[in-house]
Structure 1
Amino acid sequence: MDSKCAIYPLRILWFGHRDVMHPRAGGAERTMYEVSRRLVRMGHEVTLATVNPGSLRGFEEISGIRVIRVRGNVVAHLRAPRIIRRVGPDLVVDDLAHVVPWLSPYFTDKPVVAFFRHLHARSLRGQVNPLEAEVLKLVERQYPRMYGSSVFVTETETGVRDLVSLGVREDAIMRILPGVDHERWRPAEKAGRPTLVYFGGMKDYKRPWLALKLLRRLGDSRLVVVGSGSSSATVMRICEGLGLCGRVTFTGRVSDEDLPRIVGSAWVNLHFSQVEGFGLSILEAAACGTPTVALDAPGVSEVINEFGLGVTAGNLEDMAGKVQEVLENNGA
């Protein structure tokens, strides 16, 4: 593709709750960054407006992308109208990776794209208290009304079906598949002994502790757990309780340079999330030559089975058998 835009350059404003520098950044933030930097390369001007966790600069430029960070989730939403006026965008993207919407259609007459990742109603349990979960589910059901004249973008057929179930017209939905940077995510030399990797996120709905329960069913394999988050303490406590700490390495958050090497050296990538928009880590692992074995879940099973990126299992016992089969096929 030509490095410059074939149409007139656009001024694009993208609202999201985190950016790629956030300490809890995941697949949604990596997608936002990769798409944005390619838009910049095409000649467009891109501004990301996100929430500042308190440890990042309020203004920063990353790969040509202007990043505005506002302290606090509530304050960030309240400042959205001001940010729209300040940036003066030709196009706004409201990223719905986190359930609370940005409501940009109420503050601009320019086109707004609603980026729908997955149905949050499936993943709220355990993340927030029951009352808050019901309120957030109600908010999510209002998306069709809030974004009535907008185009919804989603990454999977599961996302399309979920939007339709919320009441969004199918002709207002566009499915766009994500991608990965093959200069960064590429095959690496495999570890000398059977090694599993988990880098799918340390949140309760991702169920990272199941990696430990799976490891207990597998002979001499070792496990590398990448990342940190709200579930980290639970996972470490379970590891100690199962007596597996000698076989598990916790890396915490790693650099962009180290992550592909760690994933590429593993024999199998593990995935336990209850729901995903696409499951970008599955695609990233595949680019590194590492197949994924995952528990069946909306979004996850579709991606793995549609693109042949690994295998899925109905329960943990079944998953252990499939992981063992992959390990044996690789010479374990």
Structure 2
Amino acid sequence: MPHILFLNWRDTRNPEGGGSEVYTERIAAELVTHGHRVTLLCAAHPSGPAAQVLPSGVHVLRRGGRHTVYLRAALAYLVGAVRLGPLAPARRGRPDLIVDVCNGVPFLSPLYARCPTVVVVHHVHREQWPVVLGGRRGRIGWWLESRLAPRVYRRCRYVTVSTATRDELASLGVPPSRVLLIHNGLTDPDPEPVARSPYPCLVVLGRLVPHKRVEYALHALAELPLARLVVAGRGWWEPQLRRRAAELGVTGRTAFAGHVSEAEKHRLLAAGWVVLVPSLKEGWGLTILEAGARGTPAVAFRSAGGVRDAILDGRTGLLADDLADFVAKTRLLLTDATARDRMGAGARAYASGFTWTGAGRTWAALVAGVLSGRRRTPAAPADRSRHPSRWSAPSRWRPRRRSG
């Protein structure tokens, strides 16, 4: 039974976890159903134990911190200490395949691993480095991502979640023939019916950090005096957002809900009139599809990468070109019930085509191809028309076979 090791800087229990972590754990769980043993190694944090077995059967190892998890991953591999969780202490050894999830800072696993690596890139952080770190640290981060990583992973297959990211990877020297597009899936929404809010309600869902630009949602709210805004999520930027809400005079119409449960998320997305995604950059924008599954259209920025795949502009939501356009398109969906209902219905139909089961089958085919050394991944599952994951071009690349 092949053992697959996922390397990701966070997990879903981490207070700073987001869409990348959801994707990682859902795909890991799907691979378990396909007969693989799966371990996820991520950073330690107070909200989770050092070792844990998830209900899905995925074993989670939490090692190191925000910056040291990369070194701890290398050490764990080199000493053969990637074991299958706390319930199997005697079963140690190195994995048969590494899935290296690059969230800006790469794990660089091909430098030490003697097994194949598949690289996952949700989005390229070109615009985010100056915002998140700035100065010299930002330039170093961008060098790691744009110059060093493509060289280290030059013999690896890539997976990404949007055509925008695939195109950006090409600009960094990664041939599209080595990039497989596997979109996010969706969990079926709670069947419990939720009535729409009786007042115009805007919803923002995500981490509260600068590059998510929740300030733009507050600006939109200030221009829409009858609307209210719910901000669901947590993060270190929340005090600044509260100050900005006070400066704009919208504190009384803004609710900071903090972290919400799945049930509460369902209620918010179903009751809201419009979901706002003002982020600077998204690999996909899972919230957009989660809202769409509940018939709620979204507004995001055209320049934000993967949201161009998640929103069919004018059919399932709207893409804005700048802040003024963002406000205008939010106003349109709040005031035009016909357009809102039409796009909400379109969003629901579009979201129904994305399933974790379909994504998992495509991943399982990729894993089988890499482990067997075949030139190309086997054909995608029969329901591929409903799950638009695909090779961008026939691959001429052959994975390097390694012993050990």
The TM-score with structure 2 as length reference comes to 0.76
Q: Deviations over 1:185-217 (max 9, x none)?
A: 987321121110001331111101111110011
Q: Does 1:71 align with 2:77?
A: no
Once the two structures are superposed, the pairs formed by residues 124-273 of structure 1 within 5 Å of their partners are 124-141=129-146, 142-184=148-190, 188-273=194-279
Quick one: structure 1 residues 246 and 73, their matched pair in 2 at CA, closer, same or farther if it must change by over 3 Å? closer
1:110 offset after TM fit, Å? 1.5
Residue 367 of structure 2: aligned partner: none
Q: 1:272 to 1:38 in 2, by over 3 A?
A: same
Q: CA deviation at 1:255?
A: 1.5
> How far apart, in 2, do the equivalents of 1:186 and 1:137 lie?
45
Displacement of 1:79 after TM fit? 1.9
Q: After superposing the two structures, state which structure 1 stretch, 82-91 or 123-132, moved more.
A: 82-91
The answer (yes or no) to whether the contact 2:40–2:60 under 8 Å persists in 1 is yes
Deviations 1:204-255 (A, max 9, x none): 1110111111001113111100111122111101111222111111101112
Contact 2:222–2:249, Cα closer than 8 Å, also in 1: no
Task: Report the equivalent of 1:3.
Answer: none
Q: Which runs of 5+ in 1 are unaligned?
A: 1-8
TM-score by length of 1: 0.91
Contact 2:13 2:47 in 1 (8 A): no
Matched AA of 1:102:
F
Q: Which residue of 2 aligns with 1:16?
A: 8
| Count of residues in Structure 1 that have an aligned counterpart in Structure 2 | 323
Whether the 8 Å CA contact 2:269–2:296 is kept in 1: the answer is: yes
1:192 corresponds to which letter in structure 2? P
**Cα distance in 2, alignment partners of residues 313 and 169 from structure 1:** 30
121, 125, 128: which one aligns with 1:123: 128
Are 1:316 and 2:311 matched, yes or no? no
Residue 323 (structure 1) shift: 1.8
1:305 to 2:298 alignment: no
Query: In structure 1, what is the equivalent of residue 22 of structure 2?
Result: 30
Which secondary structure does the structure 2 equivalent of 1:52 belong to?
Answer: coil
Deviations along 1:105-158, one digit per CA (max 9) or x if unpaired, are 122222111101111121112211310011111111222211111101111111
**Residue 102 of structure 1: which of 99, 107, 128 is its match?**
107
Q: 1:112 aligns with which of 112, 117, 137?
A: 117
Maintained 8 Å contact 2:7/2:40:
yes
Shift of residue 318, structure 1, vs aligned partner: 2.1
Contact preservation (8 Å) 1:264, 1:289: yes
Q: Name the SS for the 1:100 alignment partner.
A: coil
Please say if 1:86 is aligned against 2:81. Answer: yes
Native 8 Å contact 1:105 1:147 kept in 2: yes
SS at match of 1:181: coil
Of the candidates 32, 42, 54, which is equivalent to residue 50 of structure 1? 42
| Runs of 5+ consecutive residues of structure 2 not aligned to the other structure | 83-93, 341-404
CA distance in 2, matches of 1:74, 1:245: 35
- The AA in structure 1 aligned to 2:65 is G
Partners of 1:314 and 1:306 lie apart in 2 by 12
Given that 1:305 and 1:311 are in contact with CA atoms closer than 8 Å, whether structure 2 keeps it comes out as yes
- Matched residues in 2 for 1:238 and 1:185: separation? 37
The one-letter code of the counterpart of 2:14 is H
- Equivalent residue letter for 2:298: T
1:281 paired with 2:287, answer yes
Q: Assess if the C-alpha contact under 8 Å between 2:300 and 2:318 holds in 1.
A: yes
Q: Is the 8 A contact 1:92 1:110 kept in 2?
A: yes
- In structure 1, what residue type is equivalent to 2:300? A
Alignment pair present for 1:290 and 2:282? no
SS where residue 225 of structure 1 aligns?
A: strand
- 1:262-305 per-position Cα deviation (integer Å, ceiling 9, x unaligned): 11110100011111111111111111211101122222234313
2:311/2:317 contact within 8 Å kept: yes
- Bigger drift between 57-66 and 312-321 goes to 312-321
Which stretch shows the higher mean deviation, 83-92 or 24-33? Answer: 83-92
| Residue matched to 1:6 | none
Letter in 1 for 2:316: L
The alpha carbon displacement at 1:184 in A equals: 4.7
CA distance in 1, matches of 2:178, 2:73: 24
Q: CA deviation at 1:321?
A: 2.4
CA distance in 2, matches of 1:61, 1:185: 28
Distance 1:190 1:62, change over 3 A: same
- The answer to whether the 8 Å contact 1:196/1:269 transfers is yes
Shift of 1:14: 0.3
Contact 2:164 2:308 in 1 (8 A): no
Alpha-carbon distance, 1:183 to partner: 4.3
**How many angstroms does 1:261 deviate by?**
1.5
CA distance in structure 1 between the partners assigned to 2:191 and 2:105 by the alignment: 32
Task: Please point out which of 321, 329, 332 is paired with 1:325.
Answer: 332
Residue 91 of structure 1 contacts residue 110 of structure 1 at CA under 8 Å; is this kept in 2?
yes
CA distance in 2, matches of 1:276, 1:35: 19
